[in-house]
Structure 1
Amino acid sequence: MFGLREASCFPRVLVGVNVGLALVDGIIAFLAFYQLIRIHSRNSQLGWTRQKVFHLLIGSSNLGCLIYFVLTLFAACKGWQCCSNSCGFSLMALPEILFFAAFLLLLSFWVDLCHQADDEDEEDEGSFREALVEKTFSKPNSLDRDSYRNCFPLRFVHIGSRQRIVILVTVLVFVIMIASAVIIWIGMGKNPIDSALVARVYVDLFAIVILLLGGALACYGLLLCLRMRNVRSERASSEMWKVACLAVVSILCFTSSSFVALLTDIPMLYDWHQQRMNDVYTSLLLILYYFVGSSIPSALVLWIVRELPPSITANIREEPSTITFVSDSSTTLQHAQSWTAAMNLRNQVQISRASPI
């Protein structure tokens, strides 16, 4: 039977489950950031590609879950009141928003592939022209520009229209989360605001959004598989299996976690004073909500995008120390090498855009 626990710490079973989930999230976060560093060291000239963004979002999400599980255990044992209200709510919600952003971004790429439009060609041409301008033309201030990029390595790349929608939706959800946390914090005082009700409404709405996201990934994944089935190539077959696995895992894992959030109070376990907990039942729901609903999809995405891209060697420019005569043939050779580098860069960008992952 369920019993309201007034003790300061969780039962041993729940402590073990929280520690296990924290270890899993820590391993996933470490692998994501480690692979992100390796990828960026090989093609830093490409800026923030989708592969890097996926690693960053998934790594940050799992790192946030790790912090949440650890602080929840300490807060329950030490009696920290803040972590049972607005602070705990924010620690619970922020990793979920990052996780949601990663798979919403994946959905936007699938939508782009299913609805091919003229703007894709314009984006490709724009990226190609940008690469040609950067690689082919050497102006006197190129050394200053290179030194500036060494100090500020971030590059602003072209963002598609659907990816802008992903950013806007993510920012909107984040603003709603901050507003809910503020209302919960205000509700801690003597006023008619029900903090638990505010958190409940946010959790239910977010669960519905995740459920819709899983359904959308399943639908567009099916459309992509039907389209790639007609392409007779080894690469298309491999990509089709990746899309199929992601679509099936997304609908199953997101559906299970959404129903756990809608039917139970597992997402609000940070408010341990108000939770009715049964050791085994709550442990199973925790595993179903966090491990099945978050860790498995995150690990699958990391496994699919694990391949390292081909390295891009930057053009080495030496500062002129003496006045020399340069023949026309050497100048032509230099422009030919720059053109070749630009073409290689364009090919990598096009390969990245063509892949559904």
Structure 2
Amino acid sequence: MRNLVSSSLPKLPSSEMAAAAGGVALALGGWWEEVNGSPAWQDGAFFSLSAAYALVSAVALVQLIRIQLRVPEFGWTTQKVFHLMNFIVNGVRAVVFGLHAHVFLFQSKVYTLVLLELPGLLFFSTYTLLVLFWAEIYHQAKNLPTGKLRIIYIAVNSFIYVIQVCIWIYLGITDNPLVELVCKIFISVVSFVALLGFLIYGGRLFFMLRRFPIESKGRRKKLYEVGTVTAICFTCFLIRCIVVSILTWFLLLSSCVFFFSTLKHF
């Protein structure tokens, strides 16, 4: 049967196959250039992202209201603060994508960088708060002290925001491309810290829950929830870390090439 099928297929010369592959590549390249240069396609993509983030923000707000109505006596718990921050960070992203046409029109480049990078910092604070919530559960289950966890969370976030604000202030004073590289390296390090947090405490909580019998539906659901959220958040921060690192290396190489080319002219 294999011989019959192979003999029935038309055999193209290698040159024709290469030409066909080249034609497909040119067609895809032309399609991408058309999409990349089309304001209508770009507006559609940005407005779709804005709508998606607005939907996630609305869901977080609804969850916050539901929890507050169900247990108002507990005050601002970690879970409520998480939903509030999730509402804020996705709302900010929705506004930035919705007003994308005005984001790059500032006279000073630092304002554009603030609008583009601030949601990433808020995203880091939001999901490291989830890591804090899991760490508190894990420490309580193991009879370990939990008092220093919140202090560590506040200290790490305060340090990151202070460093980022200092970078923004310096870029506002002097537009230095080297500082932009430092900023991207800093964002990559921040993403790496977040993925480590999810790997350590998400993994610990997941394997701790697996040791208990999971006959009950609620415990099985919690195990699935912790495992899924840990895998998704770890993957997201890992991809962000890799993409920013690759972009940083490209910018660094292009800066080095430009530097050596200018030296040759002298």
User: Structure 1-normalised TM-score?
Assistant: 0.53
Amino acid at match of 2:200: A
Give every structure 1 segment of 4 or more consecutive aligned residues whose post-TM-superposition deviation is greater than 6 Å: none
Is this contact kept in 2: 1:26–1:62, CA < 8 A? yes
- 1:167 aligned to 2:154? yes
- 1:261 aligned to 2:241? no
Is this contact kept in 1: 2:57–2:87, CA < 8 A? yes
Amino acid at match of 2:111: C
- 1:220 aligned to 2:204? yes
CA distance in 1, matches of 2:50, 2:107: 22
Q: SS at the partner of 1:235?
A: helix
Is this contact kept in 2: 1:72–1:88, CA < 8 A? no
CA distance in 1, matches of 2:69, 2:209: 33
Q: Given the superposition, is the C-alpha separation of residues 51 and 108 from structure 1 closer, same or farther in structure 2, using an over 3 Å criterion?
A: closer
Aligned to 1:208: 192
After TM superposition, the structure 1 = structure 2 runs for residues 287-302 of structure 1, keeping only pairs within 5 Å, are none
After TM superposition, the structure 1 = structure 2 runs for residues 170-249 of structure 1, keeping only pairs within 5 Å, are 170-188=157-175, 194-228=178-212, 230-249=213-232
Q: Given the superposition, is the C-alpha separation of residues 200 and 241 from structure 1 closer, same or farther in structure 2, using an over 3 Å criterion?
A: closer
Per-residue CA deviations over 1:262-303 (Å, capped at 9, x if unaligned) read: 2237xx9xxxxxxxxxxxxxxxxxxxxxxxxxxxxxxxxxxx
CA distance in 2, matches of 1:118, 1:200: 36
How far did 1:212 drift?
Answer: 2.5
Is this contact kept in 1: 2:192–2:241, CA < 8 A? yes
Is this contact kept in 1: 2:53–2:90, CA < 8 A? yes
Amino acid at match of 1:35: Q
CA distance in 2, matches of 1:35, 1:218: 22
Aligned to 1:322: none
- 1:70 aligned to 2:98? yes
Aligned to 1:16: 44
Among the aligned pairs, what percent are the same residue?
A: 24
How far did 1:259 drift?
Answer: 1.7
Specify which structure has the higher proportion of helix. 2
Is this contact kept in 2: 1:22–1:65, CA < 8 A? yes
- 1:80 aligned to 2:67? no
CA distance in 2, matches of 1:35, 1:236: 21
The count of residues paired between Structure 1 and Structure 2 equals: 214
- 1:34 aligned to 2:62? yes
Is this contact kept in 2: 1:218–1:247, CA < 8 A? yes
- 1:251 aligned to 2:251? no
- Structure 1: gaps (5+ residues): 121-159, 269-357
Between the two structures, name the one with larger relative contact order (CA 8 Å, sep ≥ 6).
1
Amino acid at match of 1:94: L
User: Structure 2-normalised TM-score?
Assistant: 0.69
How far did 1:43 drift?
Answer: 2.6
CA distance in 1, matches of 2:56, 2:47: 14
